[in-house]
Every structure is written in C-alpha cells, then in structure tokens.
Structure 1
C-alpha cells in the first residue's frame, strides 16, 4: 500500500496570503481534508496529514515527517497571492525523483480539465521552483497553487463549496491516477434480509456527488449506487445497509434531522434484489417548498459569526416561510448569499430592504426597494413561491413582489433549479445557497452541544 503525505500549507500563526479578512491557511486546510477523505474512502492508500487543524508547523517539520515515514508522494496544497488569477503547479527546479514530472503532468491536467471549463479557471502552467518542501522531500513532491486569494473572482470560487468539492475531487482522482492506486470495493452483504438507506436519488451524478460531500461533512459515510428504472438512470446515494429494519429507520431519522427529508429504505430479501419501485420525485437539491428546521435565533446567531452588525431578520423568514410553505431557513441562506452576510457589497444597498437582489440586473439598475425589512423578506419569500408553486398567493397576503407575474410559475421547485433563472448564468447558484444553509446547520448543532454541556455541568453542581 502506498503512503501519501498531504500538506495543508501555512497554519496557526502563519496565515499565508490574506485579503479582506480571508486567510489562505483556511482554504488550504479545507481542500487538504477533502482530498484526504476522498482518497481514504475510495482507494487503498495510507494518508498522512502534516496538519488537520489550525496549528503552526515549520517547513522542516513537514518534510521531516514525510521522510521519516518513507512516503511515496508528498503533496503540498496552497493558494496564491500578489496579483494574477488561475491555477498552477510546481516541482523542484533541481534533481528530481524520476516519477515526479509524470505525476505533475497527470495531476495538473486532471485539475485544470475539471475546474477550467466549469469555473473559467485559467491554466498558469506546470512550473519549477526552489521551494523547501519540494527540495527537502526524499520522494516525488508536488506543490499546488489552486487560486489567488487576493483576486475577487478567485476568492469567490474559494468560498463556493461546489468549487471546493470539485477541485478536491479532481486532486484526489489525479493523485490516484498518477500513483495507480487500487480502488476500494464495497463489502458484499451476507444472504438474508437487508435494509439499504438511500439518502437521495438523482438523475445527475454531480448532484449525487454533492450529496455525498454534504453527508461526509456531517460524519456520515455514503457512496453512489447506479440503478435503471423504466429506462432512466438514477444515481442513488446509499448511506448505510442494515440487517435490522429498526437500525435503518434510525438512520433515516438521522438523515431527516439534518434536512434530507426524502431519505427512504430499500428492502432486499435473501440474495435476490427487489423489484425496483419508481423513484420518488427527488431532488436536484433540496425542495423550496417544505418544512423549516432551524429557528429564528439560530439564523440570526449564525450570520453574526461573520457580521456582528447584521439585522435580526430570522423572525420574518420564519413568519413568511410558514405562511407560504417555503423553507424560510434556506431562504435566509439565499439572503446571506445575495447580500454577503448583509454587508451589501454588491449592487443592492442596505436601505433598499431587498435581500434577494430582486430586479437587480447590473450597474445603474440596483433593483427593487421595499418599505421595511419585513416587506423585503415577504417579497423574497413570495418570489420563491412564484417559482416553486402554481397556487394563488395565500389568502390575506398582498402581492409585494414586483416581479411575481414575470415568473414562469412552478418552473423552479428546488434550489438548484433556480440556476440560470434567479441568477444568470448562475450555474452554481443553488449549490452556493445550500452550502451556506449546511454551515448554518453545523453552527446550530455546535451551539446545541455547548448548551447541553452547560446544562450537564449545572446538573452536576446541584
């Protein structure tokens, strides 16, 4: 089994490149941990991380670790600065281990061929340099400069979870190809009844991969199972297989608690697979209509982790979300995405009370203005309702969205289906919203765990 050292550049007291409050070290670690997880889940390989948290680590300590463990490959993940845009990779500009250049070619090409066309990332080329981690590593070593932290366009991609997932997977698959890593095979169940838990079923494999990334961030392992029903290919995300039906139901309940309302169980009897049932009407992403899982306080508390001066709007998203049957907690994530955590760094100003960019099409046309924060939230929820439903506006509520009648009713029932509709071209618009929502869920869970610990401490003192 081959051994790979993954090095998340900088860390601790060394932030790396910084720009407008963003620090390179954070992006490096996020990508490195994703690469570690993807490789460990899918390939027969030993992964050693130079760091898995925000700690200070010298360059010498990083290469010494790799040399002591007699690693087969050293991969250092960084992001660039000081002007420019795009992706580049580096090997040592001196004597090389023979496989080094071949590894660079394979990994570099896989990355740029994945993120280049999809995200318009420019290819800055395969380069050489006298970097410590390249020079002092006894094995083949490669340093990646993913994007430029101080370029606003590149920085927006680094804050986009879909880009992070795609670039991480392309790195992992490039490494696997370069080093010819054997893939892991899924264990086969013993004969008997088996209850498979499906955490999503998609016609688009990329959406299934995004679901796997989300589950992994929640500590739930899953993988794609392809199935064909009535001539249509579906990509199911399997998140467990159990001999006891109760255990499968417990897993479904867990999935629903983190927002995956469409989870279901497939039962197999003996060694004969069941006759496949029609797939549920699922989900290119979460549906816009549906239940809310976070409360107003959890929404407002989350946004203040980034912008302490953000207005308290959570109660309005709960109110109008309930009235229209819209997932107001995800609509709140949409507002965060549109307003940059209510800092209004784009076209719309704070005094417009326009939290979703309704009518904003470019410089000189900043969109609609609403009379109050509550009306602005109401208009956003109503605009979402126009996309997600063909029903009339609920009784007792006036039309406040000036573009309500311009929407093709029912044309966007999920958040990802808003791509190219709400935001043009917006190919990752819905995914960006869901990424923020998932981080809000993580923050809420962390707060609840802290509150639980405080209560336990109080009980112990009684």
Structure 2
C-alpha cells in the first residue's frame, strides 16, 4: 500500500494562526507521527510526504507528486479556524464524488476511528472542492483536526501526546480501510484449564550460539565446519521481525560463568560471531493432564553481537520454542517476560552499535521518568528509528540520558534545541545543533551513530537531518567503545557510562 501524506501549509505559508500556534507546525507533527506509527506497526506499507520539514510547497506540487508516484491513498492533514466558538473535527472528500465511491467508504472508516480518540466534537463527514482532493487521481481525504481559534482545541494541539493519539486514530482507520497486516508480535501462551495442584520452578538457561544466518545453507556449512574441529552443534530456527533466521547452537548451561567459558573457547577457535542467549523458563508440574501445553521461552540476544558476515540478525527476537525440555511427564513451560531476560554485556569492547533494540518504548520512558518525571516520552522514536537503521535504539536512548542528564539539560545544550546527543556541542559554551522537534532530534542522533557504525550509504526513507553526518570518519566506530575519543573527547570512559545506564535500564523493575 502506498500512502501519500500531505501536512498542510509550511514554509512561507503558516496556515491558520491563533493561541500561540501555527497550523503548519501542528499538521507536520501529526503527519510525521502517522508515518512513524504505520511504518512500525504494519507490513508492506510505503509512505511519501509532501514535506517533512518547514518548507513551502504549492498545492499543484503536492497533488502532482502523489499522482506521479501512483499512490493508493492521499491524506491531507489540516487544522481549522473560525470564530472562537467553533470547535471539533471534520473531514472532506471531493464534492464531485458519490457516497458509494471508494473515497467515501474510506472516509466512513477513518472518520469513525479518528473520532474515537481525538477528544474533539464530531462535526461530521463532508464534501468540498479543495484542490488536493480534487486533483489527485487516487482516493483522497482531507481531515480538519480541531480549531486553532478555539481555546479548548488549541490546548489539546499543544500536547504531543494528543498529537500522537490523533495520528494513531488516522493509522487505525487506514489500516482498517486497506486491510493492512500488522508486523509480527510476540504471542502469549494460553491454557485451556487451570490445574488443581501445581508446583512451579524457574530456571535460567544460557545458550551459546556461533552465528546467525538468513540462509539455512550457510548455517549447515557452519555446522559442518565446527564438526571438523570436533565441536558439536545444531541448527535452531527463530523468527525475527517476521523473517526466519537460523542460529547454530553449541551448548546450553545453567550458569552464565560456564557459558562465558565456552564462549571464550569458541572465540579462541577463530569465531568472533559467537554470542549467548539467556532463556528464563518456568516449569510447572501438576497432577492434571487436561491443561493445554504451551512451551515457549523469551529469547534475547546477549552482549556478544552477531557479527557474522552472513547477514547477522539485527532485530528483536520474538518468542520461540526452547530446545530444553523437562524430564517430568506432566510439565508446562511458559514464557517469562521479565526485562531481566535481556542481553548480558559479556564483552563491552565488542558490543556493536548496530544491533537489535530489546527494550520497549514504555520500558525506556518509565525508566527515565523515575528520575525525571517531566522527561519527554521519546521511547517510540528510538525504537522506530533504531529498527529502521539497524541500530540498538535502547542503547542510543541510554546515550541520550547520559548526554542530557535524564533530559534535564544541565549542560550547555538547552531543552529547546531537541539535541539529545550533544551534536555539534564541541566544547566551552558551544551549544551545538538545534532541531525543529523531538522526533527530528532523535533522528539526527541515530543518523550520527549510523555514520560512525558503518560505511554503507544512509537509507533514504527519511531526510538527512544530522548536520555533521558528512564530517564523520565513516565506519570508524562500529562499537560503543570506539566512540571514546570520537563522540566524547577525550572521553575515555564514555561507553562505560552509556553501557552502565543501559544495564540499569535492563534490570529496572
């Protein structure tokens, strides 16, 4: 599905203005959040925008760009204005269309979903002769998300959490209208009956793997190679972001010390892509055999990064079945969702910048708010852009915590700069770069990390907003440790402080 988003106005055209707000700023904020959510949550969606920053675009440029791209749906985001008594939400399709048209059907669905969450009066579904819904070839909708001239509506518009709700409402409607398929998520084990008597024990298993591959043939080659060195191994498949990966398993241990010992032996044998996965399992023994078994464990990659040359996994593993089974004839293994099942940083000097994001946006935001209740909720941005660039978004979040003192900005950089990584703050009173909003600030940080981590071209889904991207010695810091003396000068303990914060986040209760 190809979605074209059109944030109304921009640049020299501020749109409606009132209550200290510009329409162009609110429409852009909502549209950017729509893009972020739909790309994160749904499969097979492409998004283009008429503008992603405060730039001037004519109406003809907007409609022509959507037509040239052959979009499936055009969505224009606007804010209304009238006398201060007018308030609420309404949306429009072209007045030359019938009530049975595709646009009208999509309007029905999207209107219903948006009004559920936007806390605005419902002004109804309407038709009009606006340029962008008239001149676009595909079904089009223009939404008016409250009145900037109304005090109640304007107060909502100032709240980024409200903007996020409005964006989510639009996404819910689009997903329903186009039958979009959600990205793979963890499944929760279910039981059919409750045992009369149970005895539960919990254990943690540390499994050593040597490589993770998209190709099963590559995994088989590794097994054969290990066999020649008298190292027994097997292949374990798992799903990561909907894709199947094949991991080569060597052994499992009940203590991390034994796993670490085996890991070092594997490294000495010439394999630098070995890693450990921790599996916490709950084993329930019961006299009842009517309960539906649900065997699964939550697997998470540990600190030894998957640096195999055969496309290592870089996304958060989903729940998969453990290879460890109980000897009891009446057992049920259920997943543990404790954040303590996340990675162990076995070797900080090898802990790569590129890799999966394990912590959820909620876990990140909750951690920082324990210290600073007024901290902005940025976890979703770090997860989304981390996934897109293949960067450990939760470690980048820890970096931001370190740089900003839990987003209290006690250094030279001020909160209004939205500069969460001190980009350009090169010393003294130099405040560094400024970014137009929170999302752009996170995007710039992740792009700057990408520049250090790899020599690959920057993916072009999002605009380059890092002003110092071209100044980086590309690929010079593939690990967090390598940022010492580069991101932070002299910064000999820079990565230690970041990874220490990261481990605190992992073990936060």
Q: Which has the higher helix share?
A: 1
Q: TM-score, normalised by structure 1?
A: 0.48
Q: In terms of Rg, which structure is larger?
A: 2
TM-score (norm 2): 0.44
